[in-house]
């Protein structure tokens, strides 16, 4: 019993709470991203994602363990790709490009809304805002804003199989486009290696900061990005 008591007392409960909040925010961002892909494809005539059960708000259906881990550690990552059959679109390459664009765009919209609510709460009177549940909500919103921006920007990199490649390659001749799609699984291995080596960290961090600063400026939220970063790390292990 003594050992159990010592374990409980020595546990970093705030750190554990922060990790859980970060994980919840990452799952939320991933779910919205993948749902947007599938829903856009469905509206454009491709029911593949719907038939695979991916038009769902259940985050378990969208998790890629490595991509989720990267989001928690590096603030950028990916989810399990939503299946899309471009042959179902009336205009295959355009349909693929729009479906790909929907994911990152949904993340930018989500980040914008998270910054808006965070700013609103931040400027509430202390008597209302100065409570633990409100702090926890702000930590969640800060993580959603940062992770969603990171997810959106990272997936716009024009390297197959990231969403940016689907948008860029839609302008290529069909033969070249289909050849690139055939080898995208191998390119993904290269993307993983480059991500672990930190090849994207500098440019992505700069773009993420500028994007968040832009959102904060729209709400007249001075030093908003600094507050978002502070709250996102408030209870975090990393």
Residue with tokens 């980040």: 111
Q: Where are the alpha helices (DSSP H) in 75-200?
A: 92-122, 126-129, 132-155, 163-169, 174-182, 184-196
| Nearest to 59, CA basis, from 86, 83, 35 | 35
Residue tagged active-site, from 34, 184, 213, 233: 34
Q: Using the CB atoms, write b or e for 11-29: b if 16+ within 10 Å.
A: eeeeeeebbebbbebbbbb
| Nearest to 137, CA basis, from 233, 226, 21 | 21
| Cα of 146 vs its chain's centroid, Å | 8
213 has catalytic annotation = no
| Cα of 129 vs its chain's centroid, Å | 27
Cα dihedral 237, 146, 205, 59 sign = positive
Q: What are phi and psi of 130, to 5 degrees?
A: -85, 65
Residue with tokens 């904060």: 216
Give yes or no for a contact between 119 and 113, defined as CB atoms under 8 angstroms apart: no
Active site members: 34
């Amino acid at each position: 019993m003594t050992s159990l008591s010592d374990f409980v007392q020595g546990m970093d409960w705030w750190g554990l709470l922060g990790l859980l909040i970060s994980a919840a925010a990452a799952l939320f961002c991933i779910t919205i991203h993948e749902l947007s892909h599938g829903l856009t494809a469905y509206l454009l005539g491709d029911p593949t994602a719907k038939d695979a059960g991916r038009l769902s708000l259940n985050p378990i259906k969208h998790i890629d363990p490595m991509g989720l881990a990267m989001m928690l550690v590096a603030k950028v990552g990916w989810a399990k790709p939503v299946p899309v059959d471009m042959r179902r679109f009336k205009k295959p390459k355009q349909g693929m490009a729009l479906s790909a664009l929907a994911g990152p765009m949904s993340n930018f919209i989500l980040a914008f809304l998270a910054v808006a609510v965070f700013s609103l709460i931040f400027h509430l009177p202390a008597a209302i805002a100065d409570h633990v549940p409100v702090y926890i909500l702000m930590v969640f919103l800060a993580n959603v804003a940062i992770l969603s921006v990171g997810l959106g920007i990272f997936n716009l990199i024009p390297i197959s199989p990231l969403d940016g490649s689907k948008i860029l390659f839609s302008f290529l001749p069909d033969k070249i486009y289909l050849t690139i799609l055939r080898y995208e699984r191998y390119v993904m291995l290269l993307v993983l290696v480059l991500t672990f080596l930190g090849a994207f960290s500098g440019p992505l961090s700069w773009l993420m900061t500028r994007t968040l600063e832009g959102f904060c400026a729209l709400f007249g939220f001075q030093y908003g990005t600094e507050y978002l970063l502070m709250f996102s790390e408030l209870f975090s292990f990393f």
